[in-house]
Amino acid sequence: MKAIKLGYSGFTLIELITAIVIVAILSVIAGMGLVQIANGFVFAKKNAIASQQGQIALTRLAKEFSAIQSISSATATSITYTRTPGETHTVSWTTENQPVTIDGDTLIGNVKSFSLTYYNTYNASGSPYSATTPVIEIALEIKGYMDTTLRFVDRVVI
């Protein structure tokens, strides 16, 4: 009679535990990568929305200022002007984290800074406003996602 030889096949407990540990480590690394990708997507999306809002506000201000016929008062953070006879408008901003308003209505909120600079000639600041001011520079900084600062600047010929 022949002796039956017992064959050992399969994995030992140490091999199984080692494989599980390696798979767990790789899973954690892959999971962290996916979380970073998701955070980057959310950051980009929310800042894109804030950027669009800032660009829309700047475009609206440029359009308003390009139709100015006369200016009754102007400072670095507010301007009162007339576009058509008998129709006076005011654009103003008070302090950090407050909105820029047109005639008391909010144009854009979460504004970190807002300034109007008046130029008498090309690149020669004529602040404060005078009757010879042909150009107004609008500078707007808004707070984006995770306190990111988004800055917008435009010059308008009046």
pLDDT per residue as tens digits for the range 37-72: 999 999 999 999 999 999 999 999 999 999 898 888
Torsion sign over Cα 31, 35, 41, 42: positive
For the beta carbon of residue 140, count every other beta carbon within 10 angstroms.
23
Residue 126, both tokens: 């004529």
Confidence of residue 86 (pLDDT cuts 50, 70, 90): confident
- Record the pTM: 0.77
Local structure of 145: helix, strand or coil: helix
